[in-house]
Structure 1
Amino acid sequence: MSSFQVIVGSMLGGSEYVAEACEETLLALGHEVEVHLQPDFAQILNEKQTWLICTSTHGAGDYPDNIQAFVTDLQNTDLDLSSVKFLTIGIGDSNYDTFCYAAKNINKLLLSKGCSETVSLLTLDMSEDIDPEERSQQWINENKDHL
């Protein structure tokens, strides 16, 4: 099975809960999983792995504080990232015009660096009556053949 690095961007903890639910589902599917609550680009970067980005958006479309250094290092790297596969979950509130900007922006950044998106971006709208952990687990199970 695959090796997953779950990279969390969170200000208030909601993304952490989603990441933990994803970890549970990925483990049940037989994958190796490591969750990074303080992601360090140099430590995470490795060949033949998949990155699962779980991030909320902060302020006016910004990345949460704990993931900003990771994003900066990603933006500045000259490394060949073509072996990195990824999928992204964005958590936000569609009442804001910056709905899931952090997730959308990191998705674009990863593509621009040559990474391969295995499953299209999932956005979770907290203004709806949903269980984000359950929805993310369902999404992984629905796409397990593409992981």
Structure 2
Amino acid sequence: MAVVILYGSEAGTAEQVAEHLVDVLSEFGDGDVALYDMTDYDPGDLDPEDFHVVVCSTYGDGELPTGAEPFHEALEDDEPDLTGVRFALFGMGDSVYDTFNRGGEIMAAKLVSLGAEQVGEHARHDASGSVKPTAQAEEWARKIGAEFLS
């Protein structure tokens, strides 16, 4: 089973986290891991044979980052049947805002509403915390890999 990592970023941190996860998740399963910016990924390519990891930041007043908007809009417009698609989500935000990690929540809700199944812990990185996003993502991804890819 291939792992498809999709990221939606505004300032580039979600992209850095996603790039780091390629190395971490390549240690599990058959090691086949692909990385895509959500702006370049067609929701019609979401394949139940793959395992999906979504890394999504939050922007502004709890909106999706610019990098996730085209993907989300395509999901809304096309409404693909995502039955059988499994995904894990690593959300990013800042707890100083009332809309902490809302971008990841919006993306997860849209995928689930179309039939996809969210698995594992919905991770929520806090930019105001002391843990670096790549460190938290690595720990989270190792749990995801052991549970769903081994």
TM-score (norm 1): 0.91
Task: Report if aligned partners of 1:39, 1:66 keep a CA contact under 8 Å in 2.
Answer: no
Structure 1 outlier segments of 4+, above 4 Å: none
Kindly state the Cα deviation for residue 83 of structure 1 after the two structures are TM-superposed: 1.8
Distance (whole Å) between structure 1 residues aligned to residue 117 and residue 109 of structure 2: 11
Kindly state the Cα deviation for residue 60 of structure 1 after the two structures are TM-superposed: 1.1
Task: Report if aligned partners of 2:64, 2:106 keep a CA contact under 8 Å in 1.
Answer: no
Q: State the partner residue of 1:90.
A: 91
Q: State the partner residue of 2:31.
A: 31
Is the partner of 1:91 in helix, strand or coil?
Answer: strand
Long gaps (5+) in structure 2: none
Answering whether residue 9 of structure 2 is matched by residue 10 of structure 1, we say yes
Long gaps (5+) in structure 1: none
Task: Report if aligned partners of 1:85, 1:118 keep a CA contact under 8 Å in 2.
Answer: yes
Distance (whole Å) between structure 1 residues aligned to residue 104 and residue 71 of structure 2: 13
Stretch deviating more after TM superposition (24-33 or 49-58) = 24-33
Is the partner of 2:79 in helix, strand or coil?
Answer: coil
Q: State the partner residue of 2:48.
A: 47
Letter of the structure 2 residue corresponding to residue 146 of structure 1: F
Task: Report if aligned partners of 2:43, 2:80 keep a CA contact under 8 Å in 1.
Answer: no
Task: Report if aligned partners of 1:71, 1:106 keep a CA contact under 8 Å in 2.
Answer: yes
Kindly state the Cα deviation for residue 76 of structure 1 after the two structures are TM-superposed: 2.3
Stretch deviating more after TM superposition (30-39 or 83-92) = 30-39
CA RMSD in angstroms comes to: 1.5
TM-score (norm 2): 0.89
Q: State the partner residue of 1:70.
A: 71
Distance (whole Å) between structure 2 residues aligned to residue 16 and residue 25 of structure 1: 14
Letter of the structure 1 residue corresponding to residue 143 of structure 2: E
Kindly state the Cα deviation for residue 45 of structure 1 after the two structures are TM-superposed: 2.5
